[in-house]
């Protein structure tokens, strides 16, 4: 609902949001809510998750457990329930929504987005957006069949997994068994099924951070930050930049495509629509009904308080989302172009330490250390964003800073981090 009044936090009329999952994105959502005087509750499966450290109140528990989830919602009675992760009891979300709780963007979208089969069907059938060809497989034989039909190379992905885990690029029949085992091993929950996707050798992969929000008349409209380009390593986001290098006509097609997908999902909030661009044509891939990893570049490219996380809070709370009109679209302009680069843990253990900060941060980069209490190999522990009118220069600057940082834990030392692989230098 359009909201024209805000009570301060910590009284019985405060606007109150509850984050289900409180990682690095949840932390920034909470920071932006705090800056608006909105009361914040952070829930995660482990103590001292990034968002829990900044929120007014925190709860730790298993969000798959109906008693735990219902208990905290009924105790706190939040104005908005914001799922940040996928390991949430969906039946409870639907039930809470039926009882009048405001699930962001809604329980059905959360349900659709947590599983590759459902979101693919929604993008392709309900939204009518072109996708790469795809087939499903439940057994090794079905998988072989599907790969043969779609041709090599192709992608094999667990239908339920997050952040690229359980995804594999299959170059020939020889890779199928490994892809099958990997998908089974990394799948989350009961989703044993896998999806096989045709490989489109795309020109660029973009995320469109479309925001569905109220306008001055109380109608839901869509506004569009400039497309974010990104690349992945091992199926997980490694660097992203804004603005993506696309032509004006492709940009408009990206907005049109994102509008179709997000309308099919419904509700209000910011969505991360993952799209491919090939020969001027835009394909739908996935869509998260919440701020997106690759969108963290907007923490520095967008105006303060209006990053993807800030925009999400504005939309969720019914506050205005400012934009300018460009070719008939509501476009949210960055203040300056820039690039983000992840800082991944090269080690395992507790009490992670980062070093080499002077080499890394000597340039004017924005540096975020998420403050996670434990490191795992490949876990995202921090982020660097560099700004530059020339996006190519920003990419190099961000990569240089991020790759300079070394990490150790109480269990594992600094060894073996001197041979830094740079992708752009």
Binding site for its own copies (CB under 8 A): 2-11, 13, 27, 31, 34-37, 48, 53-54, 56, 216, 299-300, 303-307, 319-320, 322-323, 335-336, 350-358, 361-373, 382, 385, 387
Read out DSSP for 272-341?
EEEEEEETTEEEEEEEESS--GGGGGHHHHSPTT-SHHHHHHHHHTT-----EEETTEEEE--SS-EEEE
Instruction: Choose the catalytic residue: 294, 298, 323, 366.
Output: 294
Between 220 and 357, CB nearer to its own copies: 357
> From CA 253, how far away is CA 13, in angstroms rounded?
42
CB-nearer residue toward its own copies: 159 or 386: 386
Residue 274 catalytic?
yes
Collapsed DSSP state (helix, strand, coil) of residue 30 = helix
Question: Out of 2, 142, 164, 420, which one is annotated catalytic?
Answer: 164
Q: Which of 197, 286, 308, 388 is catalytic?
A: 286
Active site residue 286: yes
Rounded to a whole number of angstroms, the minimum distance from the CB of residue 368 to its own copies is 5
Q: What span, in angstroms and rounded, lies between the C-alpha atoms of 358 and 375?
A: 22
In whole angstroms, the minimum distance from the beta carbon of 134 to its own copies comes to 38
Which residue of the set 14, 60, 162, 305 is catalytic?
162
Query: Which one of the listed residues 293, 308, 388, 399 is annotated catalytic?
Result: 293
Q: Catalytic residue at 293?
A: yes
User: E-assigned strands of 45-137?
Assistant: 57-60, 80-83, 134-137
Q: Which of 274, 388, 399, 406 is catalytic?
A: 274
Q: Count CA within 13 A, CB hemisphere, residue 146.
A: 26
Catalytic residue at 51? no
Please tell me whether residue 234 adopts helix, strand or coil conformation: coil
With 0-12 CB in 10 A as exposed, 13-18 as middle and 19+ as buried, what is 56? middle
Nearest distance in Å: CB 246, its own copies:
23
User: What's the closest the beta carbon of residue 197 comes to its own copies, in angstroms?
Assistant: 35
C-beta closer to its own copies: residue 285 or 301: 301
Torsions phi, psi for 115 (to 5 deg)? -145, 125
Please state, in angstroms and rounded to a whole number, the distance separating the CA atoms of residues 217 and 76.
30
**Least spacing, CB of residue 384 vs its own copies, in Å:** 10
Minimum gap (Å) between residue 156 Cβ and its own copies: 36
Smaller CB distance to its own copies: residue 120 or 397?
397
Between 37 and 128, CB nearer to its own copies: 37
Is 45 a catalytic site residue? no
What does the alpha-carbon distance between residue 343 and residue 167 come to, in Å, rounded to a whole number? 21
Task: Compute the least distance from the CB of residue 27 to its own copies, in Å.
Answer: 8
- When the beta carbons of 254 and 306 are compared against its own copies, the nearer one is 306
Entry field: residues in the chain? 425
- CA–CA–CA angle 367, 315, 255 (5° rounding): 85
Q: Strands, DSSP E only, in 110-203?
A: 134-137, 154-158, 167-170, 194-198
Q: How far apart are CA 394 and CA 341, in angstroms?
A: 10
Catalytic annotation present for 162: yes
d(CA 213, CA 221): 6
Is there a contact between 41 and 59 (Cβ–Cβ < 8 Å)? Answer: yes
Select 289 or 382, whichever has its Cβ closest to its own copies. 382
Q: Is 173 a catalytic residue?
A: no
What amino acid positions are annotated as catalytic residues?
162, 164, 274, 286, 293-294, 380
């Amino acid at each position: 609902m359009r909201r024209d009044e805000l009570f301060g936090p910590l009284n019985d009329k405060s606007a109150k949001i509850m984050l289900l999952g409180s990682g690095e994105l949840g932390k920034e959502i909470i920071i932006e809510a705090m800056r608006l005087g909105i009361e914040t509750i952070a829930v995660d499966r482990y103590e001292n998750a990034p968002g829990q450290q900044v929120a007014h109140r925190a709860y730790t528990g298993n969000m798959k457990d109906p008693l735990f989830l219902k208990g905290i919602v009924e105790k706190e009675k939040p104005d908005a329930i914001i799922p940040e992760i996928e390991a949430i009891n969906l039946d409870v979300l639907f039930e809470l929504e039926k009882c009048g709780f405001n699930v962001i963007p809604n329980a059905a979208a959360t349900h659709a987005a947590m599983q590759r089969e459902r979101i693919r069907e929604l993008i392709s059938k309900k939204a009518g957006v072109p996708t790469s060809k795809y087939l499903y497989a439940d057994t090794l034989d079905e998988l072989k069949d599907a790969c043969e039909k779609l041709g090599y190379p192709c992608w094999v992905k667990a239908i339920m997994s997050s952040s690229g885990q359980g995804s594999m690029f299959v170059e020939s029949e020889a890779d199928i068994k490994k892809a099958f085992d990997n998908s089974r091993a990394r799948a989350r929950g009961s989703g044993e099924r896998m999806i096989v996707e045709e490989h489109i050798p795309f020109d660029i992969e973009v995320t469109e951070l479309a925001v569905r929000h109220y306008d001055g008349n109380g109608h839901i409209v869509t506004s569009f930050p400039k497309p974010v380009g990104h690349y992945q390593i091992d199926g997980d986001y490694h660097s992203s930049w804004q603005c993506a290098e696309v032509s004006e006509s492709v940009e408009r097609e990206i907005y049109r495509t994102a509008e179709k997908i997000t309308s099919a999902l419904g509700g209000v909030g910011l969505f991360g629509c993952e799209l491919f661009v090939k020969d001027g044509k835009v394909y739908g891939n996935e869509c998260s009904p919440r701020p997106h990893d690759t969108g963290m570049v907007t923490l520095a490219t967008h105006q303060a308080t209006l990053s993807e996380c800030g925009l999400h809070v504005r939309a969720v709370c019914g506050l205005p989302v400012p934009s300018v009109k460009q070719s008939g679209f509501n476009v949210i302009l960055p203040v300056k172009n820039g690039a983000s680069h992840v800082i991944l843990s090269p080690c395992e253990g507790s009490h992670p330490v980062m070093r080499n900060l002077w080499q890394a941060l000597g340039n004017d980069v924005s540096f975020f250390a998420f403050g996670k209490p434990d490191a795992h190999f490949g876990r995202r522990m921090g982020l660097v964003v560099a700004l530059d009118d020339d996006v190519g220069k920003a990419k190099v600057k961000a990569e240089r800073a991020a790759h300079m940082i070394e990490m150790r834990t109480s269990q594992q030392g600094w060894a073996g981090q001197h041979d830094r692989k740079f992708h752009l230098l």
